[in-house]
Amino acid sequence: MKRTLADLKRGERGIIKEFSEENIPLKLLEMGCLPGNEVEMLQMAPFRDPMYLNINGSHLAIRREIALLIEIDLISLHG
Amino acid sequence: MAKQINVALIGNPNTGKTSVFNQLTGLNQKVGNYPGITVEKKEGICKLPRGLKAHILDLPGTYSLNASSLDENVVIELLLNKSDKDYPDVAVVVSDVENLKRNLLLFTQIKDLGIPTILVINMADRMERKGISLDVDLLEERLNTKVVLVSARKNTGIDELKEAIINYRHISDEPCVNASVIAPEYFDRLRKAFPKQSLYKLWLVITQDVNFGNINRKEITNSDHFDTKSHTELKKLQHKETILRYQFINGVLKETMKVDASSAKDLRSRLDRILTHKVWGYTIFFGILLLIFQAIYSWSSYPMDLIDETFAFLSEWTKTTLPAGAFTNLIAEGIIPGLGGIVIFIPQIAFLFFFISILEETGYMSRVVFLMDRIMRKFGLSGKSVVPLVSGTACAIPAVMATRNIESWKERLITILVVPFTTCSARLPVYLIIIALVIPDRAVWGFNLQGLTLMLLYLLGFGVAIGSAWILNLILNIKNRSHFVIEMPNYKLPMGKNIAINVVEKTKSFVFGAGKIILAISIILWVLASYGPGDNFNNASEIVSEQYDEQSNITEDELDEEIASFKLKNSYIGIMGRGIEPVVAPLGYDWKIGIAIISSFAAREVFVGTLATIYSVGSDEEETIKNRMAAEINPILGGPLFTFASGVSLLLFYAFAMQCMSTLAIVKKETNTWKWPVLQLVVMTLFAYFVALAAFQLLK
Ligand SMILES: Nc1nc2c(ncn2[C@@H]2O[C@H](COP(=O)(O)OP(=O)(O)O)[C@@H](O)[C@H]2O)c(=O)[nH]1
Ligand SMILES: [Mg+2]
């Protein structure tokens, strides 16, 4: 199953997969949202939008529509 | 004499650029606008050792040289234009020690432009608490530049920075990342086509959509030495460039920076858990809004009363001290009250910006945006629009100024345009007296009808503001390229110096920016109300005295009031008021209300005072004025003038009409053009007219 940033629950972490998505703003990349980097979901506003993330040490809030474009591998908590 | 050294402060938002700027320049700074746009331009003079001076420019925060907003365009346009008078001799990149990796991205880009670049690593005071250690010497070697550790808060490293600025000529201007490896062949052809230009500059010109001084974008893209790349290809290359830069940065930091995570104490996550919580987050934010509202609405009334009394005293004093005559009248009744009308806003502006600075300084404002984004986005507003909209309920002037921290121009403009709909405190006296006249003082289901009406008016103002934002969002055709990626900065204790400078700056910009217009209009209004054409005005006292000749029971005071009333009726404003009677009659008003509406342009609350003068009741007692108003007869329809229908019509007119010259003046100042205030004046007033017309015609 395809997992994206938007699927993370609070406190869960993941690794950003290779992406070639056109619509991801360059700004997000510049702030550290690059393939191979780790992300953690810190907080979600009501209706899970926007989302507050820790991406590779940068603390950012992004809208759900963008989070849906970024695929990740979930880091499992149980090994 | 040596020339000033031009210094540009550049860096990501929230790295402490403005704090460093304040430390370098103190109050020796001025805030203006970049020509033609509404981005704030902060510049100042810094005294350096050995009698030298530097001109410091505090540029808007930016994450990279790939511009995505007006603010960021300013930075790149300056750095690409060597003939700009502000073009830096030396760039100072301010970075935050806690976010060094991300901050260095911008640093490498600027260095690659061939500008001598000093790296300031700010917030050095936080290194210990965060367990960060740095090998500054090695970092200087790897980045091939001067690195200065600074704490703007503790005022350390500033002298070293000044010294580095003086010695800027010794800083290497070699690039540190060779961007051309992302597409060697492409860059090769570029180099051959324009051998005289810096390669990285050309690349920026090709990828950015901004204006450049001397390099023409078309010239490059039309050149047939190489095929133009499509937008998608360019974006791919930009991705590649970003990754390349991060590779370089990661390599450098691996050698030079150590973070001992175990000693890091994390206040942020604990605070965030509460402040961005689905319930507590909103509860706390609501509480803070209430506090701000309380401050500008009620605490500021004490200094405002004092200002009021002081200017009334000054006016009186001038009148009794200077020789009587037209000139004295102009000073005592025109200019002094006009100045008072400017100064009166200072307490509210100062209070609001005191609170807003604290919200910004502490990092809380970003949490507000996080909480409010989804709701406000639907209406084309920003999460940050909440603060101006709520403070507009006290006064629109500081509220319009408070939109400055909204990054997207479209969201900011919409906020400015709709703020005047919210019920400001100047409407309150008008509402109170009309409600007292036409709404029965009775309880329905335990609610007092008068109180309920007042509440409805507040809700109505807010609702119309939001509704018109929604419409404006649909019709305003402004490109909104900024993406919603909000950085959530770490929580910090606010710096007193930053807050003080901000409050002083905002107050100054109001007094000297909008103040001129306010003074001019209030003098014009005064002249219109104090002079009139023809015999009726000039011989007012004889005419009135004659009328009352036989009735000997009129007192001196009553006679004076009658004269004042007669004069106002025959002044230019009086004539205008009578002139618009046919226009306002369908709304249920007579010419006296017409005069009061025109005078309200100085400030809405003048309505009550003007009616008092026209009715010659000579007393500010609300009861007296109210009784006199209740006795008025409608000249066309007969019966009382203030009925339920005309009362509601008047309430609605005051709710929607743009009747505040001070607001228009500040909107002109903030948007840099007369277009938007004129639009507000016309659209709001027409809207008010037709709503009031409909209300009266339906209810009468
Ligand atoms: N601890 C600490 N905080 C600082 C320092 N310099 C600035 N700050 C804080 O960092 C925040 C952002 O500062 P500001 O100057 O507005 O940053 P700008 O957005 O880059 O102009 C404010 O809360 C400042 O009080 C510093 O040296 N140490
Ligand atoms: Mg700043």
In angstroms, the CA B685 to CA B587 distance is 13
Helix/strand/coil (H/E/C) assignment for every residue in B599-661: HCCCCCCHHHHHHHHHCCCCCCCHHHHHHHHHCCECCCCCCECCCHHHHHHHHHHHHHCCCCH
More confident residue, B89 or B525: B89
In angstroms, the CA B272 to CA B490 distance is 10
Q: Which amino acid is at B106?
A: L
Q: A10 to chain B, minimum CA–CA distance in Å?
A: 11
Provide the residue count of chain A.
79
Torsion of the alpha carbons at B516, B522, B523 and B529, rounded to the nearest 10: 170
Q: Which residue of A has its CA nearest to B243?
A: A34
- Report the nearest atom of ligand 1 relative to the CA of B150: 27
Torsion of the alpha carbons at A30, A32, A35 and A40, rounded to the nearest 10: -140
Binding residue per annotation — B652? no
Q: Is B68's CB within 8 Å of A26's CB?
A: yes
Q: Which of B488, B490, B491, B492 to mutate to test the interface with A (most CBs of A within 10 A)?
A: B488
pLDDT for residue A79: 45
Let me know: does B430 contact B465? Beta carbons within 8 Å.
Answer: no
In angstroms, the CA B112 to CA B304 distance is 54
The string of pLDDT tens digits covering residues B226-280 is: 566 777 888 888 989 999 999 999 999 999 999 887 655 578 889 999 999 999 9
Instruction: Work out whether strand A38-44 and strand B447-448 pair parallel, antiparallel, or are unpaired.
Output: unpaired
Which residues contact residue B131 at a Cβ distance below 8 angstroms, ignoring those fewer than 6 apart? B259, B260, B261, B262, B263, B264
Q: A19 to chain B, minimum CA–CA distance in Å?
A: 11
Q: Which helix (H) or strand (E) holds A43?
A: strand A38-44
Domain ranges within chain A, ordered by starting residue: 5-75
Is residue B157 within 6 Å of ligand 1 at its C-beta? no
Å from CA of B487 to ligand 2 middle: 14
Chain B interface includes A30 (CB < 8 A): yes
Q: Whose CA is nearest to atom 10 of ligand 1?
A: B16
Q: Whose CA is nearest to atom 28 of ligand 1?
A: B123
Is A5-75 a domain of CATH 2.30.30.90? yes
Domain ranges within chain B, ordered by starting residue: 5-170, 179-246, 280-299+345-494
Å from CA of B498 to ligand 1 middle: 9
The string of pLDDT tens digits covering residues B35-86 is: 767 678 899 999 999 999 999 999 999 999 988 777 788 899 899 888 889 9
pLDDT band, very low/low/confident/very high, at B2 (cuts 50, 70, 90): low
Which residues contact residue B126 at a Cβ distance below 8 angstroms, ignoring those fewer than 6 apart? B97, B98, B132
Q: Is B485's CB within 8 Å of A45's CB?
A: no
pLDDT for residue B235: 84
Å from CA of B374 to ligand 2 middle: 26
Q: Which CATH architecture has domain B5-170?
A: 3-Layer(aba) Sandwich (3.40)
Task: Tell me which chain B residues have a C-beta less than 8 angstroms from the C-beta of A47.
Answer: 374
Instruction: Work out whether strand B117-122 and strand B29-33 pair parallel, antiparallel, or are unpaired.
Output: unpaired
- Report the nearest atom of ligand 1 relative to the CA of B13: 19
Residues by chain with Cβ below 5 Å of ion ligand 2: B 18
Q: B122 to chain A, minimum CA–CA distance in Å?
A: 17
Task: Tell me which chain A residues have a C-beta less than 8 angstroms from the C-beta of B275.
Answer: none
Nearest CA among A37, A51, A49, A39 for reference residue A14 = A39
B79, HSE (Cβ side, Cα atoms, 13 Å): 37
The string of pLDDT tens digits covering residues B561-577 is: 888 888 888 999 899 98
In angstroms, the CA B351 to CA B345 distance is 10
Q: Which residue of B has its CA nearest to A25?
A: B483
Considering chain B, what percentage of its residues have pLDDT values greater than 90?
50
Among B235, B373, B487, whose Cβ lies nearest the Cβ of A50?
B373
Q: Scan for tokens 């990501």, then name that residue.
A: B12
In angstroms, the CA B452 to CA B443 distance is 9
Q: B135 to chain A, minimum CA–CA distance in Å?
A: 20
The model's pTM = 0.87
Radius of gyration for chain A, computed over Cα atoms and rounded to the nearest angstrom: 11
Dihedral angle sign, alpha carbons of residues B348, B354, B360, B363: negative
